[in-house]
Amino acid sequence: MDPLKTLSEYVCFPSVSTDPAYAEGMAGARAFARKLLEQLGFKVVLVETALHPILLAERHGNPKWPHVVLYGHYDVQPADPFDLWTSPAFEPTIRAGRLFGRGTADNKGPTIVHMSALARVLEEYPDLPLNLTYVIEGEEEIGSPSMPEFFDRYGERLAQADCLLVSDTGSPNTEQLVITTGLRGLVDLEVKLRGPASDLHSGIHGGAVYNPLQALTEICASLHHPDGSVHVPGFYDGVLPLHDWERAELERYPETKESYRALLDVPAFAPANGLNPLEAVRFGPTLEFNGLGGGYQGEGSKTVIPSEAFAKITCRLVAAQDPEKIQDAVIAAIESRCPEGVTCSIRRGGIASAYCVVPPGRENTPQDQSPVLARAFEATENAITNHFGKAPLFLREGGSIPVIADFKERAGLDAVMVGLFTPVDNLHAPDESFDLALMERAVNTFTEVFKSLAGI
């Protein structure tokens, strides 16, 4: 399997899961991934869902062999705005040692890395003593809504495995890889405040009614203390401490606070609870306003008191916060702070648990950790060191992949997550790309990992 050729073919399928107009691209990407798995000797089942089918592929032998589940997704983010792409989003193009195209880094490139490595190993060892299961879904970019039903049907079957292998996380650059040990959870909600039945003339009625925009901004301002910490009772319940080994790993991180500030182009940082910025994005929970609106949005002025105002809010959570309790607590705080002059309605959005795993040998490593998981961590650390020239960092990440916590909760599987995309890859943005030198080294890395897990 030629990694570059295979990835280029895969990226040509516009597999945008959120837009029904891309149904043909979704089907094409799914069929392409299925063909690759079948060529590797997997028995593939197409699991139908209400939206986009899931590929469940198995290559099993002796039940006593180690059993690894590999997870990925064949869907991608929309490519809009198309005019900001240097080359067409679904016509993969090589420039300056990178392959450009939507999905190259998230997540088609890492998927092809795993498959290419496995192809090399199987060519040398056709009877590889390793049980392998692939789960490749088509809804990760829209929150994996079909995965709960999938776990209802196949959770017990997946629970027979020993660990999960994932590459859907990031690293700081192509020289320093990260083995991700934690992902933040997520709580989503939308607040709507209603005042008068319609927009009012601010001269005729101003001073008599409570402006919904004013009420909304007062409520939003009340959700944080002046130091930036969240002002919601019980919000920090369950927050895990930052361990000494995690601080030591972060000290090896190649980015400084100043380089991070320059990258984001902000005048200053505002982390809460005594964390520095690099700690805050990995180890601290947040409450963020993602959208705020109401009233006139056009050019110039329009002197109205708006009828409605809204705020879109998400919280990023760390283990072991309970997302349902956090959602309830934030809603209760908003409702209790809503003035009588407006009415409040709140849409409960999706929730996802945070995930955290401790590599072997740390002071808080669980005593009952799977020996195969420990082997997987060790094999991956050694392989990355051998092929990238530097030992990987073990760090929690600020983003969320809800399905990883589901694998733990529904199938008991902990994950070894290797970051194969970097900040310059432009995930979810125009000119997404994947570094080809990193891709080749990553294929060599996972070739060694598969051999190590098989005891070869």
CATH number at residue 434: 3.40.630.10
Q: Give the pLDDT score at 319.
A: 87
Last residue of a domain, one of 324, 352, 380: 352
Last residue of a domain, one of 301, 334, 352: 352
Q: At what angle do helices 147-158 and 402-411 cross, to 10 degrees?
A: 40
Average pLDDT, integer, range 199-223: 97
Q: Which of 128, 124, 110 lies closest to 3, judged by CA? A: 110
**SS3 breakdown of the chain: % helix, strand, coil, rounded to 5?**
35, 25, 40
DSSP 8-state code for residue 63:
T
Q: Give the pLDDT score at 240.
A: 84
Q: Give the pLDDT score at 63.
A: 96
Same domain, residue pair 163 and 30 = yes
Structural domains of the chain, count:
2
Cβ–Cβ < 8 Å for 239, 321: yes
Q: Can you tell me the distance from the alpha carbon of 248 to that of 45, in angstroms, rounded to the nearest whole number?
A: 44
Q: Which of 122, 136, 131 lies closest to 162, judged by CA? A: 131
Same domain, residue pair 103 and 206 = no
Q: Give the pLDDT score at 22.
A: 98
Same domain, residue pair 359 and 348 = no
Confidence tier at 274 by pLDDT (50, 70, 90) = very high
Same domain, residue pair 362 and 308 = no
In 3-state terms, what secondary structure has residue 389? Answer: coil
Average pLDDT, integer, range 25-45: 98
With a cut of 90, say whether residue 241 has pLDDT above it.
Answer: no
Same domain, residue pair 151 and 18 = yes
Same domain, residue pair 431 and 300 = no
Q: Which of 143, 24, 28, 13 lies closest to 79, judged by CA? A: 13
Q: Give the pLDDT score at 346.
A: 98
> How many Cα atoms within 13 Å fall on the side-chain side of residue 264?
13
In a domain, 226, yes or no: yes
Containing structural domain, residue 65: 3-183+354-453
In a domain, 253, yes or no: no
Confidence tier at 140 by pLDDT (50, 70, 90) = very high
Question: Under 8 Å CB-to-CB from 6, ≥6 apart: which residues?
Answer: 36, 112, 115, 116
Same domain, residue pair 33 and 127 = yes
In a domain, 305, yes or no: yes
Same domain, residue pair 193 and 171 = no
With a cut of 90, say whether residue 217 has pLDDT above it.
Answer: yes
Q: Give the pLDDT score at 341.
A: 96
With a cut of 90, say whether residue 368 has pLDDT above it.
Answer: no
**pLDDT tens-digit readout, 146-178:** 999 999 999 999 999 999 999 999 999 999 999
List Cα–Cα distances, 395 to 164, 248, 369, 419, in angstroms.
17, 10, 18, 10
Q: Which of 316, 344, 318 lies closest to 331, judged by CA? A: 344
Q: Give the pLDDT score at 394.
A: 98
Query: Residue 340 maps to which CATH number?
Result: 3.30.70.360
Question: Under 8 Å CB-to-CB from 110, ≥6 apart: which residues?
Answer: 72, 167, 168, 420, 421, 442
**pLDDT tens-digit readout, 335-365:** 999 999 999 999 999 999 999 999 999 988 8
Return the amino acid letter for 415.
A
pTM of the predicted structure, to 2 decimals: 0.92
Percent of the chain with pLDDT over 90: 96
Last residue of a domain, one of 313, 334, 352: 352
In a domain, 269, yes or no: no
